[in-house]
Amino acid sequence: MFKKFSAADASGQSILKSSVQRSIRATLLSQMNWDAETLELVWPKKEALVLVKCRDHISIYTVQGEPLFFQHFDGPFFPTLRLLQKYPSLLPKVQVDRGAIRFLLAGAHMMCPGFTSKGGWLPDADAAIPKEKAVAIFAEGKDHPCGVGLTKLSSEEIKSVNKGVGVEIVTYLGDDLWSLKKL
């Protein structure tokens, strides 16, 4: 999503109405794993949330110029990778094996076998992740998550189907959103 991206792709910035900000706050609390107090640390209520509209229906949300969340059309909210690394448990965890890392950092979507091999990891059936859900992508042998993804199959399907794309990568370490510290 941010493989070739620059501030020039942003077509306009606007401060959101406070009613909209309130509903986004509620959505962020329901879609991600954190409490209101922690969200308050990241996005204090006295700071305005700014919507930066970008090409291809990508919306980036910034606080004091720092990109914190983004969204494609009106899909789920994603944290930026920088935010996710500060709060790694915001999203359910999946893990790819070491061999997949260099493909991930080149922007490739993640194939099922990367998760089901020895170095990969998926939650057990009782904590299964449904499809079309934002996930934190960890990698074998690494402490920090290195990508944010959207599941194309449920975690149980990834295990059983075990071929093709399991998780689409929406942002990854070193892409142009990563490089964009202020917008």
Partner 1 sequence: MGKKKNVQPPPPSTSTLPELTADGEGNVVGEGPVVVEEAKKEGVKPLEVLYCQGELRYPIDVGCDDDLVIVCSFPPEFCEFGSSLTRCKAWLHEEHPDLFDKYYSEDALVEKTALLSTEAATKLEKDTAKKEAKAEAKARAEEERKKEAKVIVKRIERNKRKYVTSISGLEAFGIDLKKAAKLFAQKFATGASVTKTVTGGEEIVVQGDVSDEIVDMFEEANESSKESALKGVPEDNIEVVEEKKKKGGD
Residue 168 binds partner 1, judged by CB under 8 A = no
Residue 142 binds partner 1, judged by CB under 8 A = yes
Residue 159, classed as helix, strand or coil, is: helix
To partner 1, the closest distance from the beta carbon of 23 in angstroms equals: 14
Instruction: Give one DSSP letter per residue of 6-47, joined into a string.
Output: -GGGEEEEEEPPHHHHHHHHHHHHHHSS--HHHHHHHS-TTS
Place of tokens 């990367």: 114
Residue 86 binds partner 1, judged by CB under 8 A = yes
Residue 105 binds partner 1, judged by CB under 8 A = yes
To partner 1, the closest distance from the beta carbon of 120 in angstroms equals: 12
Residue 102 binds partner 1, judged by CB under 8 A = yes
CB 58 within 8 A of CB 71: yes
Residue 46 binds partner 1, judged by CB under 8 A = yes
Residue 82 binds partner 1, judged by CB under 8 A = yes
Cβ distance to partner 1 smaller for residue 37 or 56: 37
Residue count at the site for partner 1 (CB under 8 A)? 34
Question: From the list 108, 119, 121, 176, which residue makes contact with partner 1 (rule: CB under 8 A)?
Answer: 119
For residues 2 and 107, what is the distance between their CA atoms, to the nearest angstrom?
9
Question: From the list 10, 29, 39, 108, which residue makes contact with partner 1 (rule: CB under 8 A)?
Answer: 39
Q: Which helix (H) or strand (E) is 58 found in, with range?
A: strand 58-63
Contacts of 109 (CB under 8 A, 6+ apart): 152, 165, 167, 168, 169
Q: Which helix (H) or strand (E) is 71 found in, with range?
A: strand 66-72
Residue 110 binds partner 1, judged by CB under 8 A = no
Binding positions for partner 1, rule: CB under 8 A: 34-42, 44-46, 82, 85-88, 97-99, 101-102, 105, 119, 140-144, 146, 173-174, 178-179
